[in-house]
Chains A and B, each alone.
Chain A
């Protein structure tokens, strides 16, 4: 028999040998695919085939608009069957690239267009369809966020996504509590807004219901930033224009503003441990005068708060300046390797041209349908908060004030930079200067890799 120590040495030796062997085998090839170059342009067919066809849709669980549209399309086109897979959006974001690269990719994916995916040749260039269907008549601001140039810059170049609904962010308010502090109309300036915050605090009310367990305060921070920093600088940063920077006095000032709000007790003291769902639940239950959020929550709030909820765009610093708010298309993409790209594109075109589909965008999505501005708008219940968010969307569109989300600047920006930094900012553990500098440093690090 071998002694235990000799035996152990042998076992270690054996596994080391096996490990070394595998490394040698693996070392021959680098991981990942080779760069096949940009795929060729292909001819497109705008007629929907008559034979049975299955369209695979990969969408998100939290927002049911896309699957509802698929169901309606199935009703109208009995030969088409939708095979729907759903996932929470953050999970979907992580899985989508691998799924699109696989041998069995979906035909349609709910995805915001990102530079990485275009670089990796995962997305189908939709320009041929845009020409064939006349999507180029859409307002340019609707299409810009879905374009990526050959050099990898967002905002210009070929079209890679199709925006169906459009988000718009602003401030929800509890009408009952607003009446208590004598707020008869939405504030016209940031100064007026802050007076209302103080009035609510004095009246013993919570001024802002805020979640920040996963960095939800990014909406609040960017709402302030949008008013202080010029639109182009923010957009360049989000679109990764070379040399773009957010480490400027205005973003420091915006961070200071938010930190002061936290210090003055304008936010619930447990904001850093409150998640999105709890925030909406507590606001709907009557806690908090204001809540910074977007129109995607409008339909649900209408049913939960029944006439007791209003919405306004976050006001500019000086009255009369055009409204600037985050407003982006909720887009579907067609993977480059999709089996039925023609049918998928036909469906996309249908969502914004069919009147039932457009009504669904309003009813289920709580949003204004994008597309040709000449088409009639769907009906919404008068006096509902959905109606107010739709008006807000139109205001932003008319003033050309739509801007993207800071969170989308790089794949890691939201989870790894904004979320922890906003928690530190609200918790008083970082200075506004450090906050702005850190955002820029991480941004540059993300882009360098």
Chain B
């Protein structure tokens, strides 16, 4: 990756040695990397730095800005009202990560067992379908299903659970789980398909040896499947946890953070602070905090899934 790494790999090679060549290699290396680096600097590093800078000011986006130092961060970390969205984001991890990965694992194992290829591919397609629907459309569709007269309540009525019906997204206790389940619905397909591919690559001989040892399906799952798809699970946990912590679309299109602030998440709060209240500084500070939070959660998870081959 780096210039030194590039040339040190070459050092022992035949013929092309000497400082002149090395210098040219280095230049060529940078040249190849330049387009990507420039784009990365323009669209990732620059906005990031600007956000950090804005977070130190009190600014409405138009007029003169006032330097406030770390006041915006102090506000975020001490106001209970600003901490609640962060708590909600952690609750969403259950629905965006734990449930879809578990369900994906179960479904993938199940589909693997099904011998009928037509049925297996139909199941795969159906499960993956939510993944290709834009989240905004999913949000709107689900808000109809969750309405007082929507499909969810109709279904409850049909099976005799009419006493449980409620306007799910307007209910203070159930709104967060309700929007969380939309995430589960969207993400289960991805988990299933990815894990199915991973399971497909496992050497059948391993399963056979378990069976020869007298193991049942649980032993197969525990001793062969699970360790073999460890890396894939790591990937899914990582991207789904980021999706949970940085969620925006689903919440925005279904509840907008309500009722009250029961489903408020950092993503929606940043948008509201920045565009609604025109508190660019506070919004940027919350953005930076969210980024650090995601890193703080993801890096240890990454380690857990990467180590121990």
Closest chain A CB from B116 CB (angstroms): 42
Cβ of A281 under 8 Å from chain B: no
Closest chain B CB from A374 CB (angstroms): 40
Cβ of B278 under 8 Å from chain A: yes
With A272-B170, A412-B277 known as contacts, the answer to whether A423 contacts B60 (CB < 8 A) is no
User: How many B residues touch A, CB cutoff 8 Å?
Assistant: 50
Q: Is the CB of A31 within 8 A of B53?
A: yes
Within 8 A of B (CB), among A238-287: 268-274, 278
Cβ of B95 under 8 Å from chain A: no
Assembly CA distance A317 to B94 (angstroms): 51
Q: Which residues of the partner chain A approach B57 to less than 8 Å between Cβ atoms?
A: 30-32
Q: Is the CB of B172 within 8 A of A427?
A: yes
Within 8 A of B (CB), among A415-435: 415-416, 419-421, 423-424, 427, 429-430
6 other A-B residue contacts (CB within 8 Å) besides A30-B64, A272-B171? A11-B1, A22-B45, A35-B63, A416-B276, A420-B261, A427-B170
Q: Which residues of the partner chain B approach A381 to less than 8 Å between Cβ atoms?
A: none
Q: Which residues of the partner chain B approach A449 to less than 8 Å between Cβ atoms?
A: 58, 279
* A interface SS class: helix
Give the bracket for the number of chain A residues in contact with chain B: 35 or more
Q: Is the CB of A98 within 8 A of B61?
A: yes
Q: Which residues of the partner chain B approach A269 to less than 8 Å between Cβ atoms?
A: 148, 167
Question: A12-20, A135-143, A176-184: which one contacts chain B?
Answer: A12-20
Assembly CA distance A101 to B64 (angstroms): 13
Chain B proximity mask over A375-411: 1 for CB below 8 Å, otherwise 0: 0000000000000000000000000000000000001
Assembly CA distance A272 to B174 (angstroms): 13
With A11-B2, A429-B172 known as contacts, the answer to whether A272 contacts B45 (CB < 8 A) is no
Cβ of B41 under 8 Å from chain A: yes
Q: Is the CB of A424 within 8 A of B259?
A: yes
Cβ of A122 under 8 Å from chain B: yes
Q: Which residues of the partner chain B approach A15 to less than 8 Å between Cβ atoms?
A: 45
Cβ of B146 under 8 Å from chain A: yes
Q: Is the CB of B65 within 8 A of A32?
A: yes
Within 8 A of A (CB), among B44-93: 45-46, 48-50, 52-54, 57-65, 67
Within 8 A of A (CB), among B155-169: 166-169
Chain A proximity mask over B236-272: 1 for CB below 8 Å, otherwise 0: 0000000000000000000111111100000000001
Q: Is the CB of B63 within 8 A of A119?
A: yes
Closest chain B CB from A212 CB (angstroms): 8
Q: Is the CB of B62 within 8 A of A23?
A: no
Q: Is the CB of A31 within 8 A of B54?
A: yes
With A19-B45, A26-B50 known as contacts, the answer to whether A33 contacts B147 (CB < 8 A) is no
